[in-house]
Structure 1
Amino acid sequence: MNIIELEDVWKIYRIGEVEIPALRGLSLKVKPGEFVAVMGPSGSGKSTAMNMIGCLDIPTKGRVLLEGQDIAALSEIELARIRGKKIGFVFQSHNLYPTLTTLENVQLPMRIHEFSEVQIWDRSEELLQLVGLSDRANHYPSQLSGGQSQRVAIARALSTYPLLLLADEPTGNLDTEAGGEVLDIFAQLNAQGVTVVMITHDEKIAERANKIVRMIDGALAS
């Protein structure tokens, strides 16, 4: 079964009397274990596609299926719970809580979703080791570099054992070296079976994926 499937998805925004289609019949399947890069220039619809893949929005027409379930049939509370547990988000700007330590940032989603204390501590320590930040567990975001902050964000995104890791321009604010380290972690995770979807406009970054989807004008270019 596909983890996520978009079937002839349209997203139309209305501004007064004007209709602006951001997606025009987009169809896309993400299978377990894939590393997919969604590419396109500014205005191509890739950010709207990310919102659909991440179950952050529902289509105007068409269907978005998460593990075969139509997300339009779910309540907002159910959708929020699914996003929290089944989809791990990594954004360009890290979005770490400045008043929480590295360890506390990683543990937060597990506390929200009522993991046991043993699970929380075991999983957070495992993930900090995975991203090479065990020695930064008690540091605050202001004490971390951009690359380190993004690695914390990756660890946090993985904390609830999500089906899918969804990354939006994850190296956009990083220098070449730090960006390469982040992409290495995605490749390592994917080799371990984690399904990754990455939104990017950069051809070199997209080449790290094993499947590239190109978008233009709200639809697939190839």
Structure 2
Amino acid sequence: MYWKDGDTLVSRNNEPKLSITAPFESLLETLPQDCPVPTPIVKFGLLTQHVEPSSDEFKINFDKESIGSSETAVVPAETLSAVEYLLYNHSDHLSTKQKQRIGRFCEVTQLDYANKLGASESTVKDAVDETGTENYPFIYRTEYSCDHCGDKFDSKPERDSHTTDCGDTENDAAETSEPSQQSSTKKRPALGKEIRKDKGSERVSGRNPFADTDRLKDTGLHQGGGN
């Protein structure tokens, strides 16, 4: 469960700190004092990008289920009015798809209801107390993957430190596995000849083009000597 603390939202359940914009801070001021921020309001802030994790080690991901199953927002009339004001005046940075998703969320949570349907201060506090400890599965820790082996790490420095050693290990393995050019050359038959098997043994046969007597004559080298 989150509480407002200056320009951040803090949790008493080890959830990550969340930064808030000035327009969203004004919206939070419409809630009863000393009251935890209702989860639908936290979600609304995240969806509108007026709330975001203070650390880049965390990211936000909403799917259809997390929006469709959101609980009804029990908030004062002033908060309903502030939601409408924020959407009309501070949502130009959002895409059409994002606005449609927010519209669906407001419909499910009843944040799009008329101001006169807002709850009393005591009702808001009672609703938050009944909620108890909240889970925020749409806020998750970023995983950094090693490009070499695919292992995942909680922080970028940890991943980078591993990647250096992992990359060196793979390079060493690649060098070791390369065949020796010298050893492969030894297995080749002489030029112009082929390996033939005869009664279980191997022998090299074939005509050597450089042993042609006519060619030898042309070069001035005769059989029986070079004189």
The structure having more radius of gyration, on CA atoms, is 2
Do the two structures share a fold, i.e. TM-score over 0.5?
A: no
Provide the TM-score with structure 2 as the length reference: 0.24
Provide the TM-score with structure 1 as the length reference: 0.25
Q: Which has the higher contact order (CA 8 A, sep 6+)?
A: 1
Which structure has the highest strand share of the two? 1
